[in-house]
Amino acid sequence: MKLSKKGLDLLKQLEGFRSKPYLCSAGVPTIGYGSTRYSNGVRVSLKDPEISEAKAVEMLIFDVTAFENDVTMLTKTVILTQNKFDALVLFAYNVGSDIDIDTIPEGLGDSGLLKKILKNPNDASIAPEFMKWVHAGGKISNGLIKRREIESNLYFAA
């Protein structure tokens, strides 16, 4: 599956565009629509020059492709609607995919959210799992609370 136009537009809205590098709420140098790396793999630095919105969209689409692939791989045993897929790509874009061999929940891959989805992607108890991911820099973030509500609502939208 691919992120829908609606999903991409929502991601752009959630991330917001910034032409100059900045520190995200977790303290990571970021630019454009939440990109932490350029398309060539180089990490964003606070000393980097401004970028255009067109460049930011190019970077976003490059980044999103990896998350689409990760979500597809992580959920290959279940059938997802477009809204469910979009919500998981948005979630993974923000918290990471966590595709590794450990069981430490550092992103979608080892999360309770994914475990519940793999058991039953329509289970209503999935909604609170989104809300377990509202911390940035060790503190609860009101922005992340709102984002998780949006992602959860999208996940369960018809």
Mean pLDDT of 62-75: 96
Q: Which residues contact 68 (CB under 8 A, 6 or more apart)?
A: 1, 2, 3, 89
pLDDT of residue 105: 67
The whole model's pTM is what? Answer: 0.93
Q: 10 Å Cβ neighbour count for 73?
A: 11
**15 an active-site residue?**
yes
pLDDT of residue 26: 77
| Domain membership of residue 115 as a residue range | 5-156
For the segment 94-105, what is each residue's pLDDT rounded down to a tens digit? 999 988 767 776
DSSP state at residue 137: T
What percent of the chain is predicted at pLDDT more than 70?
A: 99
Of 15, 68, 129, 151, the active-site residue reads 15
Evaluate if residue 142 carries a pLDDT over 90: yes
Residue 67: which H helix or E strand, with range? helix 53-74
- The pLDDT-based confidence of 66 (bands split at 50, 70, 90) is very high
* Between 36 and 99, the higher pLDDT residue: 36
Q: Which residues contact 25 (CB under 8 A, 6 or more apart)?
A: 136, 137, 141, 143, 144
What percent of the chain is predicted at pLDDT more than 90?
A: 85
What is the token pair recorded at 96?
A: 């990471």
Mean pLDDT of 151-158: 95
Count of domains observed in the chain: 1
Mean pLDDT of 70-95: 97
Q: What is the CATH number of the domain that holds 95?
A: 1.10.530.40
